[in-house]
Amino acid sequence: MGSTVADPNVHQVNFPTPRSFGATFKSHCKETFFPDDPFRQFRNEKSFDKFKKAVQYFVPIYEWLPNYNLRTFKFDLLAGITIASLAIPQGISYAKLANLPPIIGLYSSFIPPLVYAIFGNSKHIAVGTVAACSLLLAHTIGEKVSPKDDPTLYLYLVFTATFFTGIFQTILGLLRLGILVDFLSHSTITGFMGGTATLICLQQLKGMLGLTHFTTKTDVVSVLHAVFQHRDEWKWQSAVVGVVFLIFLQSARLVRKKRPNLFWVAAIAPMVVVIVGCLFAYFAHADKHGIQIVGHIGKGLNPISIKYLNFKSEYLGVTLKAGIITGLIALAEGIAIGRSFAIMKNEQVDGNKEMIAFGLMNLVGSFTSCYLTTGPFSKTAVNFNAGCRTAMSNIVMAICMMLVLLFLAPLFRYTPLVALSAIIMSAMFGLIDYEEIYHLFKVDKFDFVICMAAFFGVAFISMDYGLIMSVGLALLRTLLYAARPATCRLGKISDSNLYRDTEQYPGLTRMPGVLVLQLGSPIYFSNSNYIRERIFRWIRDEEDIVELKGSIVEHVLLDLSGVTSIDTTGIETLIEICKMLNAKEIKMVIINPRLDVLEKMIRSHFVDKIGKESIFLSIEDAVEASLFSLSKDKQYQVTGQLDFF
């Protein structure tokens, strides 16, 4: 086998001088942390303009408020009032879910929306508390301190966890670690939400049936056991009221589904339930007929809670854990929701900026008696449908909440617990996304398994384990794919110069003696053994076919177009493969290595070892050169006859 002839018609590979480490490192860092190129707008600006742009960048309100006008305000006013009417029942309900006094839920709808309006860059997100995180918080902190035995300490620990959430989210945003949120896949979130919703629904049986004794555990088995254990406590009055409320709420949702422009029916339904419940409880003295009510709610704005933050080492572990896990989930939910609504309006949302906004809002919240808030789906959807134009709707909502806190809060003391349970249950029904789960099942079984791991893990083990299992599976999958990259044999499409997968396109032309393989994805330590084994299997398979015709493989052409990077183990493996092939009298040829790969090949002297004449720019050139240097009898075969398989 002679070396290939330098043909002027062959397209030349550009062998670059490898870039310096600094240059490649900088470009890698940029791709990892600044894929959206946030500094782009600051280029070519004078220093004062640069400063102004930077303020606008970090404080978006500065960007839109100066141009704000009355016409836009009308939209935001309507949207703000609508979401405020939703914020009151949701605030009270979810606070109950987190084992907190109901007033904390109302506080949490006052300060955080104001902070978000200043720093947030989504126009549609309506800030509020969320069910899943409320329950997770209750579960994690409840393991250490019982909310019944020491409600004050429990409350302070929740503030501390919220403080850590704020710090964590802000730092993630500042360090541009949005990449962490990327690892919570859509399948995980779907399963986690579904599992949590199931769990919360079952937990609401406590309120629906008017039970006074219940379990603090959060798994389906314990919850159902607790419900049936206390059958003697079941109160039919409570159940009847609950079912009526639930039917009303579900009907309202149905109306919204059928007639999207009647969205406000579903939006104010919970408020109607609360008001009707209060009136009913007040006039019918419901609390004396087996229907429990919320009880005392104070008047006045958020008290300062910064002095209550508890950093004692005894509780540090649990508050940190609760803060970080809930913070991550809240981010994933909030950012995903902001993004999906932005897409509908063809706008962009900057994930890292959102993180800073969420972080600051929770930080300030933890100083002012609020607990974890984010951009919940239900409220944001209502805000969007109500026609909000800017974050001003959050300010309107906050002002409404302020008025409620100052004047109306005590009136809500008569809210029956069963009304809250009905509100929560109704909201949860919407979170179990059957269609999406079925879609996952149909399209990708592994995604379905990841989703189910979260669903059943949350429902039957515990919320954090379910989440960890699911994320673990998703990471395992990523590693598995990295360890077993797809390879394929290429054949020529007749009447063209295209080479494609022979499995995908049956009937492609093959050249006896020349085997063209395409390697996909990076070549790493974790897959280099596999790639070596696989290449030799391709050769054996090829020879099994060709054997019948008394011919063997003389050239192996490796198309590296799809190999985006390589590490030292990968390069050494290529050298090994080359040696092993040479021992079998097979020539190895490399096709179209990409910049990063080629640089490393040059730096590790791989190119010197296999020779520049063995590296081609296109498959066609490589095949032609290989056919040219085939042994004589094979050449006859090629020119005399082209086999079709």
Residues 35-94 that bind its own copies (CB under 8 A): 35-37, 40
SS (H, E, C) 632-643: HHHHHHHHHCCC
Residue 26 CB, shortest distance to its own copies, in Å, is 12
Q: In what order do the strands lie in the sheet with 555-562?
A: 499-501, 487-492, 514-520, 555-562, 587-591, 615-616
Assigned token pair, 170: 């802000």
Bridge-based pairing state of the strands 587-591 and 514-520:
unpaired
Contact with its own copies (CB under 8 A): which of 289, 312, 537, 549?
537
Q: Let me know the angle formed at the C-alpha of 64 by 60 and 66, rounded to the nearest 5 degrees.
A: 120
585 binding its own copies? (CB under 8 A): no
486 binding its own copies? (CB under 8 A): yes
Cα dihedral value 607, 612, 613, 618, nearest 10: 90
Residues in 589-618 at the binding interface with its own copies, rule: CB under 8 A: 592, 594-596, 598, 600, 603-604, 617-618
Among the listed ranges 132-140, 292-300, 399-407, 573-581, the one in contact with its own copies (CB under 8 A) is: 573-581
Among the listed ranges 133-141, 246-254, 366-374, 485-493, the one in contact with its own copies (CB under 8 A) is: 485-493
Radius of gyration of the chain (CA): 32
Assigned token pair, 304: 């300062």
Q: Enumerate the H helices of 183-219 as residue ranges.
A: 186-203, 205-209
Residues in 100-159 at the binding interface with its own copies, rule: CB under 8 A: none
Contact with its own copies (CB under 8 A): which of 185, 196, 383, 390?
185
3-state DSSP call for residue 645? coil
Which regions of 563-624 does DSSP assign to beta strands (E)?
Answer: 587-591, 615-616
From CA 105, how far away is CA 264, in angstroms rounded?
A: 22
- In the complex with its own copies, which residue's Cβ is closer, 254 or 475? 475
Contact with its own copies (CB under 8 A): which of 439, 489, 609, 634?
439
- In the complex with its own copies, which residue's Cβ is closer, 132 or 335? 335
Q: Say what angle helices 151-174 and 313-344 make with each other, to 10 degrees.
A: 50
- In the complex with its own copies, which residue's Cβ is closer, 15 or 282? 15
- In the complex with its own copies, which residue's Cβ is closer, 36 or 233? 36
Q: Which residue has the tokens 């798994």?
A: 219
Residues in 196-235 at the binding interface with its own copies, rule: CB under 8 A: none
Residue 376 CB, shortest distance to its own copies, in Å, is 21
Residue 119 CB, shortest distance to its own copies, in Å, is 21
Among the listed ranges 241-249, 272-280, 483-491, 637-645, the one in contact with its own copies (CB under 8 A) is: 483-491
Residue 575 CB, shortest distance to its own copies, in Å, is 10
66: left (phi over 0), alpha (psi -120 to 50) or beta: alpha
Half-sphere exposure of 472 (CA within 13 A, CB side): 9
- In the complex with its own copies, which residue's Cβ is closer, 322 or 589? 589
Contact with its own copies (CB under 8 A): which of 1, 3, 6, 31?
31
Among the listed ranges 32-40, 203-211, 392-400, 545-553, the one in contact with its own copies (CB under 8 A) is: 32-40
Residue 452 CB, shortest distance to its own copies, in Å, is 14
Q: Judging by beta carbons within 10 Å of its beta carbon (0-12, 13-18, 19+), is residue 195 exposed, middle or buried?
A: buried
The residues near 640 (Cβ < 8 Å, ≥ 6 apart) are none
369: left (phi over 0), alpha (psi -120 to 50) or beta: left
Assigned token pair, 47: 């220093």
Cβ atoms 388, 116 nearer than 8 A: no
From CA 181, how far away is CA 328, in angstroms rounded?
A: 7
Residues in 301-340 at the binding interface with its own copies, rule: CB under 8 A: none
- In the complex with its own copies, which residue's Cβ is closer, 58 or 525? 525
- In the complex with its own copies, which residue's Cβ is closer, 144 or 484? 484
Among the listed ranges 214-222, 294-302, 303-311, 572-580, the one in contact with its own copies (CB under 8 A) is: 572-580
- In the complex with its own copies, which residue's Cβ is closer, 503 or 613? 503
Contact with its own copies (CB under 8 A): which of 312, 445, 549, 612?
445
Assigned token pair, 368: 């002012």
Among the listed ranges 198-206, 226-234, 259-267, 570-578, the one in contact with its own copies (CB under 8 A) is: 570-578
SS (H, E, C) 347-409: CCCCHHHHHHHHHHHHHHHHHCCCCCCECCHHHHHHHHHCCCCCCHHHHHHHHHHHHHHHHHH
- In the complex with its own copies, which residue's Cβ is closer, 16 or 611? 16
Residues in 337-366 at the binding interface with its own copies, rule: CB under 8 A: 343, 346, 348, 351
Assigned token pair, 127: 């800030």
- In the complex with its own copies, which residue's Cβ is closer, 8 or 640? 8
- In the complex with its own copies, which residue's Cβ is closer, 251 or 568? 568
From CA 457, how far away is CA 195, in angstroms rounded?
A: 8
From CA 189, how far away is CA 235, in angstroms rounded?
A: 36
- In the complex with its own copies, which residue's Cβ is closer, 206 or 492? 492
186 binding its own copies? (CB under 8 A): yes
Residue 496 CB, shortest distance to its own copies, in Å, is 6
- In the complex with its own copies, which residue's Cβ is closer, 413 or 477? 477
Cβ atoms 178, 409 nearer than 8 A: no
174 binding its own copies? (CB under 8 A): no
Nearest CA to 426 among 378, 462, 380? Answer: 378
Size of the site for its own copies (CB under 8 A): 92
Contact with its own copies (CB under 8 A): which of 221, 403, 482, 545?
482
Residues in 489-528 at the binding interface with its own copies, rule: CB under 8 A: 493, 496-498, 500-501, 503-505, 520-522, 524-528
480 binding its own copies? (CB under 8 A): yes
Residue 186 CB, shortest distance to its own copies, in Å, is 4
- In the complex with its own copies, which residue's Cβ is closer, 43 or 288? 43
